[in-house]
Structure 1
Amino acid sequence: MVTTTPIALVTGGDKGLGLSMVRHLARQGVDIIFTYRSNLEGAQKVEAELTQQGHRIKALQLDVADVGGFDAFTNQVGKTLAQWQAEHFNFLVNNAGIGIYASLMETTEDQFDTLVNIHFKGAFFLTQKLVPLMADGGRILNISTGLTRFCLPGYSAYAAMKGAIEVLTRYQATELAARKITVNTLAPGAIETDFGGGAVRDNNEINHYIASVTALGRAGRPDDIGGVVAALLGSDTGWINAQRIEASGGMKL
């Protein structure tokens, strides 16, 4: 018997925003495949936590910067679906990423290439490999950043990669329309995680500054974003397509 429970694939789901996304989607009754790069212990803890709560979940290792590994990863996804008696998965969240802080004049070529490979090239070609395993009428959500709308010195390369993702989102929505697959961008504001060395969470000066330029008066928290992801992949939001949705609490209005 083929399962009809929706299945989501979330990259970078072992911590931070990705972990919150995984938890919120599981509470919504979605089965989860999530990836981790090197945090095997953390991934196993997430698997154990949600399995104990009665959810079906699978952690798979993936380096989104290594395009050469995408064929093997796609095969692992296919095997997981077969084990779950599923023909396809429904939701893809391109979330995995890193933060590199460097001024325009100090950014190195190695830093630039790392950001390209993780945030743009990886997301581009991973989606290309996975789309054949997606169900018609599925959803893709690409994670961007509020920094494509407002500017903070030190993030020019990172924000530029995310700007490319926002353009790619519209093209994906156009080219996948025949299969009724919607594609949107979610742009978080500054969030209290370990991203970028945990500066927003751990540096009081930075945290207070973020709060001072945010209409709702505080920095974001992971569950602020996890909840939005669950809503955007919910049954009532299927008519949203090719859009950039910002979840920043009204930062830098």
Structure 2
Amino acid sequence: MTGQATAVVTGVNRGLGQSIALALGRSGHRIIAAHRPSSDATETVSLLQAENIPVLPWAVDVTDAEGHRDAVASLRVRLEAEWGVDRLDVLVNNAGIGAFAPVDDVTPEVFDALFTTNLRGTFFFTQAMLPLLEGGGHVINISTSLTRHVSPATAVYAASKSAVETLSRSLAAELGPRGIRVNSVAPGPTATDFNGGAMRDDTALRAELAAHIALGRVGHAEEIGDAVASLASHAMRWVTGERLEVSGGSFL
């Protein structure tokens, strides 16, 4: 890459998205901080600005496939006006939802919501962004270690993320001739506010999980962010179609 790279991170208002945006910013990327229109990304934007990282907040709904074309066209105008660029280097599809319930309690509404955001949103948002990624862009999709090991009440969530990993490999093959790389990152148990902050706030749960993790603890959000930034770096330019698990050796 020449000059300063530009990255879009979705779901940037909290948790992993915030940490990914900070890690990419610290590694030399300008950040487009994408968040749901109903959410507030002020904290993330302020953290980036405090470190003199160029940032543009972008309110966009990744599930609104019909509105993506107009949203991306508006983004292109902003990129040219603010930074004098007309393309992107990195797209991190981090926005997602989690809903966990035993199989008997899963409703059609919960099932559809998981696949609408985690899979459909990832696919159509990526599709809309392709014109900005041509000729050297990199798509990184956030998955979960639960696609490799199993845990009670996670079947539908894990299935939606397994589909994201399959999508990532297929797109890597299809988009490679267009100069676009596609990889996935699969975090293990991480202390964030995801799922109501259970892994962050529940000491007993963290201890139970730590007993099944080779490195003896749950992860920290910044460790996932650092892994994404490393994968996005020029040093990893020959990597595509891969799944990078960042889990401290969970359930080996």
Q: Same fold (TM over 0.5)?
A: yes
Q: Report the residue type matching 1:141 in the other structure.
A: I
Shift of 1:219: 0.5
Structure 2, unmatched stretches of 5+, are none
**Residue pair 2:6, 2:89 contacting (<8 A) in 1 also:** yes
Mapped to 2, the partners of 1:62 and 1:87 lie a distance apart of 19
**Alignment root-mean-square deviation, CA:** 1.3
Q: Which residue of 1 aligns with 2:171?
A: 172
**C-alpha separation between the residues in 2 aligned to 1:128 and 1:155?**
28
Q: Could you report, residue by residue, the CA deviation over 1:100-128 in whole angstroms, capped at 9, with x for unpaired residues?
A: 01111210000001001100000000100
1:208-247 equivalent positions in 2, closer than 5 A: 208-247=207-246
Structure 2 residue matching 1:89: 3-state secondary structure: coil
Determine the structure 2 residue equivalent to 1:115. Answer: 114
Residues 1:154 and 2:153 are matched in the alignment: yes
Q: CA offsets per residue over residues 139-172 of structure 1, 9 Å max, x none?
A: 1101110000000011100000111011111111
- Aligned to 1:12, what secondary structure does the other structure show? coil
Structure 1 unpaired stretches of 5+? none
Partners of 1:49 and 1:224 in 2: CA distance: 17
Give the conservation status (yes or no) of the 8 Å contact 1:65–1:114. no
In structure 2, the residue matched to 1:20 is 19
Could you tell me the percent identity over the aligned residues? 39
Which SS does the other structure have where 1:17 is aligned? helix
In structure 1, what is the Cα distance between the partners aligned to 2:80 and 2:126? 20
TM (norm. structure 2) is 0.95
- The structural deviation recorded for 1:52 is 3.5
Q: Supply the AA of the counterpart residue of 2:218.
A: A
Question: Does 1:199 find its partner at 2:198?
Answer: yes
Q: How far is the alpha carbon of 1:135 from its aligned partner?
A: 4.0
- Tell me the residue number matched to 2:69: 71
- Structure 1 residue aligned with 2:248: 249
Contact 1:103 1:154 in 2 (8 A): yes
Mapped partners of 1:123, 1:236: distance in 2: 25
Residues 43-62 of structure 1 mapped to structure 2, 5 A cutoff: 43-62=41-60
Q: Equivalents in 1 of 2:137, 2:44: separation in Å?
A: 25
Off by >4 Å, runs of 4+ in structure 1 = none
Counting matched residue pairs gives 249
TM superposition shift of 1:179:
1.8
Tell me which amino acid in the other structure corresponds to 2:63. A
Distance 2:241 2:248 in 1: 21
CA distance in 2, matches of 1:65, 1:109: 17
Aligned partner letter, 1:145: T
SS of the aligned residue for 2:91 comes to strand
- CA distance, structure 2, for counterparts of residue 138 and residue 50 of structure 1: 22
Aligned residue identity for 1:207: R
The 8 Å contact of residues 115 and 157 in structure 1, kept in 2 or not, is answered as yes
Q: CA deviation at 1:95?
A: 0.4
Aligned-pair CA distance for 1:34: 1.7
Q: Distance in 1 between matches of 2:125 and 2:172?
A: 16
The question of whether the paired residues in 2 share the 8 Å contact of 1:10 and 1:94 is answered with yes
- Counterpart in the other structure of 2:95: 96
Deviations 1:48-79 (A, max 9, x none): 33223222101111222222221232123212
User: What is the TM-score with the length of structure 1 in the denominator?
Assistant: 0.95
